[in-house]
């Protein structure tokens, strides 16, 4: 099947608003950060960059939006333009939109060009499953094999790596953990490698649940991680030592009170996916719920918060 690809180049500050809106109208949305594109360009002399330099911004982000061929692309472009007109966005006049047609296989595999093994935190080594046989592994490496497919969570997005960094510091052997919005399952696998044993991975997205199960099997922890559909912590009844969630700020906001209720004393809520502009509101709500904020990390405009429940 052929696909319409719409590419939108814009400031990184606009990422959250665009991604929320575009996910409601398109079949697929992928966000490329200029740092990653430039890394790929210098590491691989990326062919695509040389073919289409104008598609690649020197700074900020490029959002790729996909509609299958049954869509009327002009109508979709009108919706995008209306959204831009009606939404307060940074440097609107600089937003650039291009369109093209591609084969399905292209966009399902496109991101693989940019995904190679890399280190996160002190000891995590993230390895794309298709590279595993060729990677040198040190004794100290905690290897997460991953094939995210179309789910979120290769580990190289700041929101994910900040969570892994926090998990490295806080997980204790046999901790009971819930990973809300598991995506590819990467955070649950990280928690497992750090010694957590009673782990639940949830998501509202069916595809993510399927992909995470595949990744748990790939990392030989399928038996130790329960996977289930759930909307945040709304129907959760068990108690946990660690709750980790990398979702957007307004969604994190909806789960703060439930997280506090469900955590054991001295338990931690690791919350990520928060743009820097929303940090203070989220921290204020966490404190109001009863949490002590012990650490806040920031990278590429994203914030992750480590909140402690003390009785
Ligand atoms: C940014 S991804 C994070 C994936 C992975 N945990 C990581 O850190 O890379 C957010 C995930 O949250 C899921 N999600 C969004 N809203 C949710 C909700 N209300 N309840 C549970 N999961 C949700 C999405 O489907 C997506 O898989």
Per-residue pLDDT tens digits for 30-81? 887 765 554 443 333 333 333 344 444 555 888 888 888 888 999 999 999 9
pLDDT of residue 39: 47
The residue contributing the CA closest to ligand 1 atom 25 is 205
**Ligand 1 pocket, residue 208 CB under 6 Å:** yes
Residue after which a domain boundary falls, among 82, 112, 142: 112
User: Which residues lie closer than 8 Å to 159 by C-beta, 6 or more apart?
Assistant: 246, 272, 273, 302, 304
What's the rounded Cα separation, in Å, for the pair 197 and 82?
A: 49
Residues 191-216: tens digit of each pLDDT: 999 999 999 999 999 989 999 999 99
Asked if 218 and 121 sit in the same domain, the reply is yes
Asked if 106 and 119 sit in the same domain, the reply is no
**Ligand 1 pocket, residue 190 CB under 6 Å:** no
Asked if 39 and 120 sit in the same domain, the reply is no
What's the rounded Cα separation, in Å, for the pair 3 and 68?
A: 5
**Ligand 1 pocket, residue 203 CB under 6 Å:** yes
pLDDT band per the 50, 70, 90 thresholds, residue 301 = confident
- 245 or 20: which leads in pLDDT: 245
Does pLDDT of 6 surpass 70?
yes
**Element spanning 51, H or E:** helix 47-51
Asked if 54 and 193 sit in the same domain, the reply is no
Asked if 166 and 104 sit in the same domain, the reply is no
Give the DSSP per-residue string, 11-44.
-GGGHHHHHHHHHHH-SEEEEEEHHHHHHHHHHH
- The domain total for the chain is 2
**Ligand 1 pocket, residue 182 CB under 6 Å:** yes
- The two structure tokens encoding residue 95: 């937003």
Out of 16, 152, 160, 242, mutate this one to test ligand 1's pocket (max ligand atoms within 8 Å of CB): namely: 152
pLDDT of residue 152: 81
Q: Which of 234, 255, 235 is nearest to 244 (CA)?
A: 255
Share of residues in the chain with pLDDT > 70 (%): 89
Q: DSSP letter at 301?
A: T
How many Å lie between the centroid of ligand 1 and the Cα of residue 55?
28
What's the rounded Cα separation, in Å, for the pair 252 and 239?
A: 18
How many Å lie between the centroid of ligand 1 and the Cα of residue 52?
32
In this structure, of 47-61, 70-84, 248-262, 285-299, the range with the lowest mean pLDDT score is 47-61
- Cβ pair 304, 249 in contact under 8 A: no
Asked if 168 and 254 sit in the same domain, the reply is yes
For the chain, helix, strand, coil in percent to 5 are 40, 30, 25
Asked if 45 and 159 sit in the same domain, the reply is no
State the Cα torsion 4-8-14-18 to the nearest 10°. Answer: -10
- The two structure tokens encoding residue 310: 């003390």
Asked if 259 and 121 sit in the same domain, the reply is yes
Residue after which a domain boundary falls, among 58, 85, 112: 112
Q: Which region, left, alpha or beta, applies to residue 188 given φ > 0 means left and ψ of -120 to 50 means alpha?
A: alpha
Domain of residue 87: give its range: 2-112
pLDDT band per the 50, 70, 90 thresholds, residue 115 = confident
**Ligand 1 pocket, residue 181 CB under 6 Å:** yes
**Ligand 1 pocket, residue 187 CB under 6 Å:** yes
DSSP bridge pairs for 302: 275, 299
**Within 10 A of 49 (CB to CB), how many other CB atoms are there?**
16
- The two structure tokens encoding residue 80: 């995008």
Asked if 90 and 156 sit in the same domain, the reply is no
How many Å lie between the centroid of ligand 1 and the Cα of residue 245?
7
Residue 246 annotated as part of some ligand binding site = yes
What number is the average pLDDT over the span 120-147?
93
Asked if 216 and 192 sit in the same domain, the reply is yes
What number is the average pLDDT over the span 112-134?
89
User: Which residues lie closer than 8 Å to 171 by C-beta, 6 or more apart?
Assistant: 177, 191, 194, 195, 196, 242
Q: Which atom of ligand 1 is nearest to the CA of 205?
A: 25
Q: Is the pTM of this model over 0.95?
A: no
Asked if 88 and 194 sit in the same domain, the reply is no
Asked if 237 and 123 sit in the same domain, the reply is yes
**Ligand 1 pocket, residue 216 CB under 6 Å:** no
Give 88's Cβ-side CA count (13 Å radius): 0
What's the rounded Cα separation, in Å, for the pair 280 and 190?
A: 28
pLDDT of residue 43: 39
CATH number at residue 159: 3.40.50.150
What number is the average pLDDT over the span 267-276?
95
Under DSSP, is residue 177 helix (H, G, I), strand (E, B) or coil? strand
**Ligand 1 pocket, residue 254 CB under 6 Å:** no
Residue after which a domain boundary falls, among 61, 92, 112: 112
pLDDT of residue 110: 66
The residue contributing the CA closest to ligand 1 atom 23 is 181
Mean pLDDT of the chain: 88
Q: Which atom of ligand 1 is nearest to the CA of 231?
A: 20
Map 202-231 to HEC letters. Answer: EECCHHHHHHHHHHHHHCCCCCCEEEEECC
**Ligand 1 pocket, residue 110 CB under 6 Å:** no
**Element spanning 95, H or E:** none
- The two structure tokens encoding residue 71: 């869509």
């Amino acid at each position: 099947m052929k696909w319409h690809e719409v590419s939108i180049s814009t400031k990184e500050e606009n990422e959250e608003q665009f991604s929320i809106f575009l996910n409601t109208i398109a079949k697929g949305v992928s966000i490329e950060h200029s740092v990653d594109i430039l890394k790929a360009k210098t590491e691989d002399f990326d062919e695509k960059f040389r073919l289409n330099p104008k598609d690649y911004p020197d700074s900020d982000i490029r959002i790729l939006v996909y509609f299958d061929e049954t869509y009327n692309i002009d109508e979709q472009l009108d919706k995008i333009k209306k959204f831009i007109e009606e939404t307060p966005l940074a440097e609107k006049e600089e937003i650039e939109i291009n369109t093209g047609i591609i084969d399905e296989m292209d966009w399902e595999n496109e991101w693989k060009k940019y995904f190679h093994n890399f280190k996160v935190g002190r000891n995590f080594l993230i390895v794309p499953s298709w590279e595993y046989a060729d990677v040198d592994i040190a004794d100290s490496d905690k290897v997460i094999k991953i094939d995210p497919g179309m789910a979120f969570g290769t580990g190289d997005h700041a929101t994910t790596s900040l969570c892994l960094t926090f998990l490295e510091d806080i997980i204790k052997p046999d901790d009971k953990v819930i990973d809300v919005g598991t995506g590819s399952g990467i955070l649950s696998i990280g928690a497992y490698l750090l010694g957590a044993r009673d782990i639940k991975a949830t998501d509202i997205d069916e595809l993510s649940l399927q992909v995470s199960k595949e990744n748990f099997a790939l990392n030989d922890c399928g038996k130790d991680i329960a996977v289930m559909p759930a909307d945040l912590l709304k129907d959760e009844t068990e108690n946990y030592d660690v709750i980790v969630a990398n979702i957007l700020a307004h969604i994190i906001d909806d789960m703060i009170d439930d997280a506090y209720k469900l955590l054991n004393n001295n338990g931690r809520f690791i919350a990520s996916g928060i743009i820097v502009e929303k940090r203070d509101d989220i921290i204020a709500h966490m404190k109001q719920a009863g949490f002590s904020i012990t650490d806040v990390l920031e990278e590429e405009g994203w914030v992750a918060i480590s909140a402690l429940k003390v009785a």
